[in-house]
Structure 1
Amino acid sequence: MRIDDYVAELGKALCGPPGPKHDLVVEARDSLADTADALEAEGLARDEAERLAVREFGAITEIVPSYQRELTAAAGRRLGLLMLISLPITVLMWSVVWRFYPTNSLAVWVARPDWYDTASRWLDILQLSTGLYGGLSLFALGRGTRWIRRPRLVTKWLGIIVWSMLPVTVGLGLVLSYGAGMQETAQTFLPAVLANLVTAAFWGLQLYGATRCLRVSRTA
């Protein structure tokens, strides 16, 4: 097998974030090319040098597991970093918005239902807890890999937690926005509109990252 064929097959066999995957494939190509160049300098024909370099590098089935473990950890680190950053930002952003929305805040807050404060507190706890787990996952899949035997499970559970918690936080957010008898809607208050757009973007990124984590953890 020639180097180009080997690298193409390796790329098809791997599943993970495009950036880290590209880096691993390029690293493999460079290593193979260097070996083939050395063999060619010793007098072998280029075709034979590439085939020998591929045989020495190892079969695809032998190389893929270690590469896939790295890609699985990379997917988890990316989602962990996103959770660590996005969820505190979301909580802080909405805390600021609620100071000015609704504009007739005194009348609304006085008339709010008894469950409102409890639901608001639980929403903050869930969001911050998920963000904390994202930070712990980021550490575990970085420096913590020396102590963790199965980092794949960290990535897998990060995806599961995001998929499980996001519908809950979305539901609580909608209840808090529209279930407290507010006459002024979030669609007519500019800061709330911007906050909704940022929050929706974060949700989309989180779901995308969680889906990728589940996919690559199955592949690993």
Structure 2
Amino acid sequence: MNAAGRQADPIAEYEAALTAVLHGPGGEKARMIEELWDGLADTAEAHVDEGESYERAARLAVREFGTVEEIAPVCQRELTIAQARHTARTVILIAPFLVACWYLARTSGLPGTAWQLPRTAQSLAVHLAAVAIAAALLAASTLAATGTLARRLPTPRRLPLVVAWAGTTTSVTMAVATLALAVAAALATDWPLLALAGALSAASHAVVASSARASRRCARLAVA
């Protein structure tokens, strides 16, 4: 089918409209849209076999499937949970690195009592580690609640939003860790290691922040 024909196809128009309103992990969204397309195509084909023209068969299939306004909330809920799981996995992977940053700041070869700012950075690192551990525990609980436990218990409606803000908190914590490591590197004797950790912390912040931002958007759409 050429591009013009595809644009005029009721199923293609339905697919485009649904794609535009859904947000979530790219792979999950693509899989969902493909499954919906296959279902609509099979239904339309069944109507064609009954003697309907393709255009009418496609419109009947879309009508039977439900409007975009009716289907989108159900699909978005599934994508929101998928995005929450993605963010949770990201937080779990990042948390150990944040604890390692805490350890580096605590054990770095800083000058003695003349430097008050590094001591502040070390104290801050303890709080960063605590945030990382709390976020990791929440992320692990989220994976359990949306995985095996979801077969027995309903997933709490607000859980994706909680995970989104936990990811946001973790991303902010990574930004603060980057600053703390940069300060420590400027004043420490083993600054190359601290500088490398700071660069990795900045990169981790970008990854977590992006996932958390996507989770917040999905969560808002799911509860709208």
User: Could you tell me the TM-score, scaled by structure 2's length?
Assistant: 0.80
The answer as to whether partners of 2:168 and 2:209 remain within 8 angstroms in 1 is: yes
Structure 1, residues 186-211: CA drift from partner, whole Å, max 9, x if none? 4xx1x333322221111111111111
Q: 1:123 to 1:112 in 2, by over 3 A?
A: farther
| Count of residue correspondences | 211
The answer as to whether partners of 2:43 and 2:61 remain within 8 angstroms in 1 is: yes
CA distance in 2, matches of 1:90, 1:17: 25
Is residue 2:64 matched to residue 1:65?
no
Q: 1:172 to 1:92 in 2, by over 3 A?
A: closer
User: Could you tell me the TM-score, scaled by structure 1's length?
Assistant: 0.81
Alignment RMSD (CA, Å): 2.9
Q: 1:93 to 1:160 in 2, by over 3 A?
A: closer
- Which stretch has the larger CA shift, 68-77 or 14-23? 14-23
Q: 1:206 to 1:117 in 2, by over 3 A?
A: closer
Provide the identity percentage: 28
Displacement of 1:12 in angstroms is: 1.1
Q: 1:74 aligns with which of 57, 62, 82?
A: 82
Is residue 2:31 matched to residue 1:23?
yes
Q: Which residue of 1 aligns with 2:165?
A: 160
Q: Which residue of 2 aligns with 1:130?
A: 135
The answer as to whether partners of 2:165 and 2:216 remain within 8 angstroms in 1 is: yes
Is residue 2:93 matched to residue 1:85?
yes
Structure 1, residues 13-64: CA drift from partner, whole Å, max 9, x if none? 2122222111111110000001111221222211111111111111111111
Mapping of residues 146-157 of structure 1, within 5 Å? 146-151=152-157, 153-157=158-162
- Which stretch has the larger CA shift, 113-122 or 126-135? 113-122
Q: Which residue of 2 aligns with 1:196?
A: 198
CA distance in 2, matches of 1:38, 1:207: 46
- Which stretch has the larger CA shift, 138-147 or 162-171? 162-171
Which stretches in structure 1 are left out of the alignment for 5+ residues?
A: none
